[in-house]
Amino acid sequence: MTAVSSPSQTSRKTKWALFLSGLLNEPLVGLIAILPFILRKDLHASAFQISILNMVKPAVALLSFYWGAVLWRNRQSLRSNWIVSKLLASIPFLIFPFVQNIWFFIIGAALFHFFQRGGVPAQMEILKQNVPPGERENFFSWSSAFNFIGGVLIGLFSLGLWMDAQDWKLLFLISALIGLLAVVIQMRIPVDTSQIKDRSSKRNSLITPWKDSWNLLRQRPDFARFQIGFMMGGIGLMLIMPALVIFAADDLAISHIDMTMSRFVWMGLGFVLATPFWKRKIALKGIYRLTGIVCVFFAASTLCWMLGGLGLAWFFVAFFLYGVAQAGSHLIWHLSGPLFAGSGDSSLFSTVNILTVGLRGLIVPCMAGFLCNVIGPLPVLAMGLMWCLAGSIYLFAQKKETENAADTAV
């Protein structure tokens, strides 16, 4: 670092930088979340294309897994890894207004998710390195809530632009430019590399990350059990998302405005209001039960989506419950690495989270698209609901007391 900062100053600078970066990134994150619906509604994307678009977010995690694994073995690149990830994630959206090809939009979303996921281990390790425990979890929860408040405001602002079917491309451009402002902030984050050991290895770079992850799961059965339960709920969610796009656009005939209201406003309200609850409950000793509760909320939101044909109110309620679930899932997914790592290195734990997302993402969304063509979206939604409930049952069945991560950290 160019100047010596006290621990409290470093913590304060880091929290502000992470908070502002997330706030600036939220508009683009929200728009990408409804991109499958936009492409189905405006460009008549096929069920296969919708499945591919829903697949790219988790599937590219396998590639970003290597990005994060390189970070774990070269600890000197924390800040540069995060900054480069942000730059490369935003570039495709700068030319969105000038293209009309569905596959280009899918590739742009894939690149965003790749670099967004790839930057997570660096972001979480910087948070762990600069912000003390307790304060860390508290900061992450309230900053996530404020980010979603920003998303709510952006959603209300963007409602007026849906009058022209082409204006959604302009929204992506504006959101990408706003997000790029975060790079200036990220460059100012203090990172102390004096205590970092370089883990560079001459072993096979293709195989080594898998071995590192497998060894971690073998050495930490508590973390492995968490991954199994999270995987089951994740499979359910990946069945639900492609089916929901087709169900909302074709069967329910949801408008752009209603979808924007649902994603930015109702989901945002659920996220913000539920965050204090999840913040109080996030702790390693209760992480199984907490993740099980998240799966129950995902199942409840799916049931309300299925009832959307009875009235638009059910659709809004579903997104509110989905926001509640996402608030918990967001905290658990991002903070499980530092929580399980204790005082040890958290980046490998976070990288394993990315790996498991990628593994299920290679199969489940495409399977959902195929099933939607064969049996329709409504039965697929029901299948996703059952997977979420199965994940919650598995997690509730785990031992109430878990191993102390700080004592067993690798």
> Nearest CA to 141 among 8, 266, 346, 278?
278
Residue 237 has pLDDT above 60, yes or no: yes
Task: Output the pLDDT for position 71.
Answer: 52
Residue 29 has pLDDT above 90, yes or no: no
Q: Which helix (H) or strand (E) holds 298?
A: helix 287-306
d(CA 190, CA 186) in angstroms, rounded, equals 9
d(CA 340, CA 408) in angstroms, rounded, equals 9
Residue 67 has pLDDT above 80, yes or no: no
Residue 149 has pLDDT above 70, yes or no: no
Task: Output the pLDDT for position 31.
Answer: 83
Q: Quick one: average pLDDT of 56-64?
A: 73
Q: Quick one: average pLDDT of 393-400?
A: 81
**What token pair was written down for 30?**
């929200």
Residue 286 has pLDDT above 60, yes or no: yes
Query: pLDDT: is 221 or 121 the higher one?
Result: 221
Task: Output the pLDDT for position 164.
Answer: 47
Residue 163 has pLDDT above 50, yes or no: no
Residue 351 has pLDDT above 60, yes or no: yes
Q: Which of 212-216, 243-247, 380-384 has the lowest mean pLDDT?
A: 212-216
Task: Output the pLDDT for position 291.
Answer: 92
Q: Which of 53-57, 165-169, 239-243 has the lowest mean pLDDT?
A: 165-169
Q: Quick one: average pLDDT of 293-316?
A: 95
Q: Quick one: average pLDDT of 252-262?
A: 85
Task: Output the pLDDT for position 22.
Answer: 79
What 8-state DSSP symbol labels residue 3? S
Task: Output the pLDDT for position 300.
Answer: 97
Residue 82 has pLDDT above 80, yes or no: no
Q: Which of 5-19, 138-152, 268-282 has the lowest mean pLDDT?
A: 138-152
- Report how far apart, in Å, the C-alpha atoms of 302 and of each of 142, 227, 299, 398 are: 26, 22, 5, 25
Task: Output the pLDDT for position 399.
Answer: 58
- Provide DSSP, 215-252: HHHHH-HHHHHHHHHHHHHHHHHHHHHHHHHHIIIIIS
> Nearest CA to 240 among 298, 282, 156?
298
Q: Which of 28-32, 85-89, 111-115, 137-141 has the lowest mean pLDDT?
A: 137-141
Task: Output the pLDDT for position 2.
Answer: 45
Which percentage of the chain shows pLDDT scores above 90?
24
User: Three-state SS for 204?
Assistant: coil
Task: Output the pLDDT for position 150.
Answer: 63
Arithmetic mean of pLDDT over the chain: 80
List, for residues 100-119, the tens digit of each pLDDT value: 889 999 999 988 888 877 77
d(CA 119, CA 124) in angstroms, rounded, equals 9
Query: pLDDT: is 385 or 49 the higher one?
Result: 385
Q: Quick one: average pLDDT of 226-242?
A: 93
Residue 278 has pLDDT above 70, yes or no: yes
**What token pair was written down for 352?**
């394993």
Residue type, 327: A
> Nearest CA to 331 among 369, 373, 280, 374?
280
